[in-house]
Amino acid sequence: MKTRISFFLVLIVGGLLLLVGNVNVSAQNGAEEANISIIPEGVEVKTFVFAHGEDPSAKTASVAATPWTDIAVHGTMWNPELRGKFSLFKPLGWGTATKVKAAGDQWVHIPIPYITYLEDIPQKVRFVQFCAQSSNGSVTKPTALHLWTGSTRFYAGAVSWPANNNYGCWGVSFSPGVWKEDLGVSVLLHYANTTDSITLYKAWAQFER
């Protein structure tokens, strides 16, 4: 009887250790997710920071005069990955105001409508941008941008947000443009404390044929 009990205790303890190990691995993988860099093969990628209202076309235009189309999504369309981590996630007329319950990093997501083919001509992603404003931009700010097509992440990179409290925008351009089945935008927000806030404004993309 003692042998059986000991055997089952070993199984239980071993199972618990395996579970804890898996949790730690998952946590480590999650922490590393924001630090990875993914760039489409054979594509030149550039990142840009913009002041509110600045025209990005001069910076992002291709060498060839390729016609393009812009599609914008208003800032009330952002979604939190973990709503319970936010003390405030409130859509307003101009965007979405956010605060967190505890300092740290939180993901937010927004889809951009994408006409993948227009009159049988494929439309390629040429530029993607999101805009935001922090109440304390030197420490509370966006830190990473990921782009998705379905469940495939085709771009991941760090965001070098200006250390100010202005309405600002961060964008990434692709040359040549890349065709995808759809387009999702994920932004990692870092909150230094529970007092600072980040307001999320529009996200938009530019497509070329």
pLDDT over 70 at 50, yes or no:
yes
Task: Indicate the number of domains in the chain.
Answer: 2
User: Are residues 74 and 165 located together in one domain of the fold?
Assistant: yes
Give the model's pLDDT for residue 92.
97
How confident is the model over 69-78, as pLDDT tens digits?
999 999 999 9
User: Are residues 16 and 98 located together in one domain of the fold?
Assistant: no
pLDDT over 60 at 1, yes or no:
no
Q: Which residues are CB-neighbours of 90 under 8 A, at least 6 positions away?
A: 96, 97, 98
User: Are residues 107 and 22 located together in one domain of the fold?
Assistant: no
**Mean pLDDT across the chain, nearest whole number?**
84
User: Are residues 186 and 124 located together in one domain of the fold?
Assistant: yes
pLDDT over 80 at 10, yes or no:
no
* Residue 205 to residue 191: CA distance in whole angstroms: 26
Domain span including residue 15: 1-33
pLDDT over 60 at 172, yes or no:
yes
Mean of the pLDDT values across residues 56-77? 76
Residue 70: give its domain's CATH number: 2.60.120.260
Mean of the pLDDT values across residues 147-175? 95
Give the model's pLDDT for residue 17.
39
Query: What is the model's pTM?
Result: 0.81
